[in-house]
Amino acid sequence: MKIYVDAVNQFLENLEMLLPDSGVPVTRPEEAAPLARQVPQPLRSAMRYSLLLPGKRIRPALLLAAYHLLAEDWQKALPYACALEMIHTYSLIHDDLPAMDDDAYRRGKPTNHKVFGEGMAILAGDGLLNMAFETMLEADITRERPAEAVAAMGEIARRAGVRGMVAGQTLDVTLEGTAPKQEYVEYIHEHKTADLLTAPLTAGLMLAGANQQQLEAGRQYGFNLGLAFQITDDLLDLEGDAALLGKNTGMDAQRGKMTWPAVFGVDKARKDAESCVNKALAALDCFGDKADLLRKLVSGITDRKF
């Protein structure tokens, strides 16, 4: 996956809208030579700060890998890949706010609102969500294949929105402190986490012109990878290494979060994660050898330490 991750990091670092400038806080529109330079400070720094923190870049890498299953010109899909990272990053910034999870550290660094203040963190999140759509709408591939692009953007929007990630987030916040319950933890994990790990597969495949069977295989892989990823996350919060994770552990229990081990116990949680990995692997059969990268990725997901 390194080739994808490197390409994603390069794309994000060179986003014209977020390039660091000479420090002028505001540029008047009529004086600004390139329109892209109009993003004012400190908004630009706040967005860059969270977007460029070292991350696994798993969502964008998955989208590129999925697209690459069916088409060679995977670089064309970079704006869509990076749009997913923007959506993921906005959700973390808002999730960390005092009114939500009230977290002080993320990926080993102070959270956005700790550095830039709450108001700016809210705006940086709003800006990144909006920028995800701007980035996709302005991409070459969108102009060249508008029908596929509209389908892929629709898929990303649905899974990121109030029937997807935002829905999961709502339940996660609303049900804090209530008794662990199977139907709730399933709903939260599916929407809060798996939806944004399924979207890279389905949207990447749609962009490359996949057929229904391929889309369904991608959906199965993404959903099971997402569930395995979140169960592992729950387990790491319970028994992981805070230094490696870059954040405090034991927070889920302290907050009364609905987690997989809280509902099913640690042993069943481990088994369920493994079973998801196997289902994800099985879903890849129709793609043959081309899917080896995706096989490797999901195989290691339950072993991760951070």
Point out which residues bind its own copies (CB under 8 A). Answer: 17, 25-26, 28-29, 35-36, 38-40, 42-44, 47, 90-91, 94, 97, 99-100, 117-123, 125-127, 129-131, 133-134, 137-138, 142-143, 146-147, 149-150, 153-154, 157-158, 160-163, 166-167, 169-171, 173-174, 183-184, 186-187, 190
Q: Over the Cα atoms of the chain, what is R_g?
A: 19
Between 168 and 240, CB nearer to its own copies: 168
**Tokens 């700060």, residue?**
49
Residue 263 C-beta: closest distance to its own copies, Å: 14
Between 77 and 236, CB nearer to its own copies: 77
Residue 138 C-beta: closest distance to its own copies, Å: 6
Q: How many CB atoms are located within 10 Å of the residue 148 CB?
A: 18
Between 68 and 88, CB nearer to its own copies: 88
Residue 6 C-beta: closest distance to its own copies, Å: 25
Given the DSSP bridges, would you call strands 105-106 and 109-110 parallel, antiparallel or unpaired? antiparallel
Residue 170 C-beta: closest distance to its own copies, Å: 4
Question: Are 83 and 135 a contacting pair, CB within 8 Å?
Answer: yes
CA distances from 29 to 23, 35, 68, 130, 198 (A): 16, 8, 40, 20, 39
CA distances from 74 to 1, 18, 81, 223 (A): 13, 23, 10, 22
Residue 190 C-beta: closest distance to its own copies, Å: 6
